[in-house]
Amino acid sequence: MLQPLMVTERLNMYDLDITASGGGPSGQAGAIRLAIARALLHLDPELYPPLKLGNYLTRDAREVERKKPGRRKARRAFQWVKR
């Protein structure tokens, strides 16, 4: 989560108090990392090159696939019975 601070060498400059809700631990860590990177960019626009090079300004666009009608889940079909 603190990778953007380490890349920009600002690890001990800020005191962070962050609360994340929803999703799992990995998703929350990614969201916090993106928030820290965007906050650093807002404070100092000259930090764009190292943050962009480290891929810290890119949002993970994956989302849950919707459930389709006639299926148990998004892709899982109901159990097929021969007789």
Residue with tokens 């990778």: 3
Residue 1 pLDDT class (50, 70, 90 cuts) = confident
Give yes or no for a contact between 78 and 72, defined as CB atoms under 8 angstroms apart.
Answer: yes
Per domain, the residue ranges of the chain are: 3-53
pLDDT tens by residue, 38-65: 999 999 999 999 999 999 999 989 899 9
CA distances from 67 to 3, 22, 76, 78 (A): 36, 20, 9, 12
Is 0.75 surpassed by the pTM of this model? yes
> What's the mean pLDDT in 23-32?
92
Q: For residue 23, is pLDDT > 90?
A: no
